[in-house]
Amino acid sequence: MMPRRACKVDANHGDVKHWLEGLGWFVVDTHEAPQYKAMRGFSDLLAICPEATVFVEVKAGKAEKLTPDESRFRDEILTSGGRYAVAVTFDDVEFMTRIYWPGRLP
């Protein structure tokens, strides 16, 4: 299947993935998924721990908003009982870990 469009990668994408892995998450990089699937707005990463699977959208800055497709995807995930997070900084990754993987951090 041919990709339908190139996907933008945020400057901090690798950092967020590295921070998650450093805290023990198994991370699947999905930022190119929209190229090959019909689902627009799919999250950039899947972060998996024994307690949860979290769809993670990476943003380059706090002021950067979700696109309409990303917002629809987030709403579908949350409505179906899934977990979703937006990560910009290490503090976001740490907060996500405290919420979704209780007891992992001191």
pLDDT at 56: 97
Whether 39 shows a pLDDT value over 90: the answer reads no
Region 33-50: mean pLDDT is: 80
Region 83-104: mean pLDDT is: 96
pTM of the model: 0.86
For residues 96 and 47, is the Cβ–Cβ distance under 8 A? yes
- What is the rounded CA–CA span in Å between residue 105 and residue 77? 26
**CA nearest to 44, candidates 66, 11, 13:** 13
CATH architecture for the domain at 29-100: 3-Layer(aba) Sandwich (3.40)
Mean pLDDT of all residues belonging to the chain: 88
